[in-house]
Amino acid sequence: GSPPALIPPHPKVPPPTTVIEASKRLAAWTAVDRHVLPEYKVIGIGSGSTVPYVVERIVSQGLARNKDRVFIPTSFQSKELIVSAQLLLGDVDQYPVIDVTIDGADEVDETLNCIKGGGACHLREKVLAEAADTFIVVADYRKNSDVLGKNFKQGVPIEVAQFAYAKVLQNVHLVGSPGATLRMAKSKAGPVVTDNGNFVIDAPFPEEMMRDPYTLLTRIKMLTGVVEVGLFCHMAKAAYFGNQDGSVTVK
């Protein structure tokens, strides 16, 4: 494809708190300005620490004022975000066709394949990405990569049915990730449980396998007990990365 374009600094983004926060905000604001069109009525809102800036820009652009415009969350966190910004909340079962979904990512490669699920929300995120006419990724510069797994080392997030986790773990080892582990809560009190009541396995794969994420995705998804894989292949239409110098890279 064509080389990533560099957009000049956004004229209206307020001064940064930290460089990373500023770069997240830059990406989010630029994506909202370009992709949340006034005629759009159904907007998917992703999860993670970049997405609050998406909502911030939606509000500051007055895009929340239209009472016909509904916002669909990808997680408990994004539902809270929508509600606290006083946006109209909807669900994907009411609105299975979404105009645009904007979401974060853990890493994005040269052809817009993504690792997602570091926040354990990738099942709903993928449903909303797929339901959207346009799926847009926003992130800071650390997520911009050439090969998945180079920056995000903890592995491919795999959501699994609780009772099946040990068998899936064994099979993920056989697929090529001997280092795969069940994700534990930070408190170490037990496994992380997703919004859907499932567990998450983190599976690092060798670079040669990560160079073909679609094949890897299909192999993992075939394993019985797997609910969804945090590899998003051929889904994103564009990705925006805020840079340290205040510019935005778009791929």
Residues found near ligand ABF in the complex (CB under 6 A): 46-50, 103-106, 116-119, 121-122, 125, 139
Kindly state the smallest distance separating residue 17's Cβ from ligand ABF, in Å: 15
DSSP string, 78-146: HHHHHHHTTPEE--TTT--SEEEEEE--SEE-TTS-EE--TTS-HHHHHHHHHHEEEEEEEEEGGGB-S
CA distance readout (Å), 1 to 4, 30, 35, 81, 251: 9, 22, 21, 35, 9
Kindly state the smallest distance separating residue 143's Cβ from ligand ABF, in Å: 7
CA distance readout (Å), 188 to 76, 184, 192, 243: 22, 6, 9, 35
CA nearest to 183, candidates 205, 198, 164: 198
Q: Which is nearer to ligand ABF, 48 or 225 (CB)?
A: 48
CA nearest to 136, candidates 33, 231, 247: 33
Q: Which is nearer to ligand ABF, 160 or 171 (CB)?
A: 160
Kindly state the smallest distance separating residue 116's Cβ from ligand ABF, in Å: 3
Q: Which is nearer to ligand ABF, 144 or 171 (CB)?
A: 144
Evaluate whether 251 touches 108 at the Cβ level (below 8 Å). yes
Q: Which is nearer to ligand ABF, 58 or 139 (CB)?
A: 139
Which candidate in 21, 107, 125, 228 is catalytic? Answer: 125
Kindly state the smallest distance separating residue 205's Cβ from ligand ABF, in Å: 17
Report the alpha-carbon distance of residue 19 to residue 243 in Å, rounded. 8
Kindly state the smallest distance separating residue 48's Cβ from ligand ABF, in Å: 2
Give every CB contact of residue 60 below 8 A, 6+ residues apart in sequence: none
Q: Which is nearer to ligand ABF, 34 or 142 (CB)?
A: 142
- 80 belongs to the catalytic site: no
Q: Which residues are catalytic?
A: 125
